[in-house]
Amino acid sequence: MDSAVTAQSGQAPHDTSTEAADRESEGDARPVATNIGHYALADLRKARRKNRLQELDWFEAAYRVYLVAILFGGGALWASSFIKDSKVDAAAVADIYHYGPAVLGMLAVATFAAGLRSGSRGGPLAIEDADVRHVLLSPVDRRTALLRPAYQRARASASMGTLVGGIGGQLAGHRLPGSDSSWVLSGAVFGLSLGLLFVGAALVAHALGVPRWTASAVGAGLIAWQTVSIVQHIPGPGNTYGSLALWGMRQRGYDLVAPAVSLVLVVVGLAMLRRTSLDALARRSGLVAKLRFAITMQDLRTVVLLRRQLSQESTRTKPWIRLRRNGGSPVVWRRGWHSLLRFPASRVLRMALLAIAAAACQVAAFRGTTAMFLLSGALLFLLGMEAMEPLSQEIDQPDRMSSLPHKRGDLLVRHLIVPMVALIPFAGIGVIAVVVLDGTKSLAVAAILALPTVWLGACGAIVSIVKDAPDLGSVGAEQVMLPPEMAGLTTILRTLLPLIVSVIGSVGVIVVRASANAGQSAIGAAIRIAIALLLLVAFAVQWVRKRDDWKIKFKNIMAEGRDVTAQQKAQRADTYRSKP
């Protein structure tokens, strides 16, 4: 195996014992591995890294980093500096001191519960299929083979948590006492701790072989305990993490226990890598390869499906309630309800949590934290992606759809009716969450805005699903003549368009807040905003119905323009040739 690996890396086969003797004679004090497989694994990874770097187009990679940094990094900094929220009053600061650790600790508890579920379902590692088939089945210590992928997984999770936590800390610094730098640092440490907590919990749960029901029960119990901690003001399992997030305005030494616990979990998980299941890695390796390809192709629908498969979330074989065939209901109506009624309980619970979280973001935005409306729009987009399952299933089968005696736009609109009706209870859940968080004084405004906001948030998911439908009049050359800068920007805007649509639905709470601060009627402003949001929903539905017709008309116009341009060029050429 060693000779094969070194041949692949472009080096001559070597004798490890001779190499060890040479290093000892040269005074090299590095330890010599006793297992030849370690040398083979190191050579293999070195060769693969070298080959990948050779195939990498550095100019293209730098250009992608440039686009991402400008659009996301610069956009986040610009947005955070643009938002000028006022400082909270002393009463709000007292409430944050009182409730903040428990409320923010719920994030840590939810992260730990998610890590347990991930580990019980085969996560969090996902390596390439070649590593599973050749490296892990070779006489190489399994912990040695998995140590680097596990470290990379922990590093990626910690980096993402640090980035998100730092941005959240910067936004919190605009409203809470303390310097912006202290809030950025505390938010970054909080996010880092949560990232490590997720990976550590998943690694330990996987190594111990925790059953799925046990992971779910433990997670539910911890969340219930933390909920009681918020309501009854008793110590909760996540309070230390929540207190760490408030270091921007006060510091407590014992809060450092939180990152220490996360780090210890990761270390224990790395030490138990020998207990990793090969069957789980083999199953996840194929799914992750497909997931990466779907992300590259910007196919969000496929990404959602693959994520469900990774979490081993399957639909029910029978719906919760079966509708009668002789009930006189339309076929599309019955199919749509059966699609939704096959949702597992975990997915329904996730949708309810998304509705509650979006309502909490709306309350925070109404109270003065303006940036929370962005998070609300993103959550409603995810809620819409879950609810639009009937539409997604129809898009996934274009051959059957094209064989029906109906225009595609009309058929897709019919598939929107059931999901829109199904979202009404989740809008009600959002209203209840607003009343619990902000009292009955916000009941009228919440009742007016809830359904239009949820529907327009779901319209972002509709746009994302429908725009990936096969093009009936496939002509893929419209963007070929665009310069690289415009082509890249167009791709990014096309990717972000669904999220922009969903975020627009959450802007209404900002307008209502501005009206209330100006002394105008909040209910009147909510009614006007609700009408505007419903009009946008109607436009989105009309776009689904007429999208194919509009694209064909646009392509015809472009073709006519090209024909006219060609005729004008031909006439000028004839005129030039006719001149003496």
- Rounded-to-integer distance, Cα 544 and Cα 410, Å: 8
| pTM score, whole prediction | 0.76
CA angle 462, 468, 474 (to 5 degrees): 135
Task: Check if the beta carbon of residue 171 is closer than 8 Å to that of residue 369.
Answer: yes
Omega prior to 124 cis, within 30 of 0: yes
- Which helix (H) or strand (E) segment holds residue 166: the answer is helix 142-173
First to last CA, the chain: 79
Q: What is the pLDDT of residue 53?
A: 62
Averages of pLDDT over runs of 10 residues in the chain (580 residues) are 40 42 45 59 75 62 58 54 65 82 91 92 81 79 86 91 87 81 90 94 92 90 91 88 89 89 94 88 78 68 75 79 68 86 88 92 85 88 90 78 75 90 94 88 89 93 82 47 52 76 90 87 90 94 87 81 79 71
Helical segments of 174-318, H only: 180-208, 212-232, 239-245, 257-271, 278-296, 300-310
Token pair for 115? 């890590």
Q: What is the pLDDT of residue 567?
A: 82
Q: What is the pLDDT of residue 67?
A: 57
Token pair for 463? 């746009």
Task: Check if the beta carbon of residue 403 is closer than 8 Å to that of residue 413.
Answer: no
Q: What is the pLDDT of residue 233?
A: 84
- Rounded-to-integer distance, Cα 233 and Cα 89, Å: 22
Q: What is the pLDDT of residue 580?
A: 58
Q: What is the pLDDT of residue 83?
A: 55
Other Cβ atoms within 10 Å of 578 Cβ, number:
7
Instruction: Give every CB contact of residue 240 below 8 A, 6+ residues apart in sequence.
Output: 101, 105, 254, 255, 257, 258, 261
Q: What is the pLDDT of residue 296?
A: 66
In degrees and rounded to multiples of 5, residue 161 shows phi and psi of -65, -40
Burial of 385 from C-beta contacts in 10 A (0-12 / 13-18 / 19+): buried
Q: Which of 255, 254, 248 is nearest to 96 (CA)?
A: 248
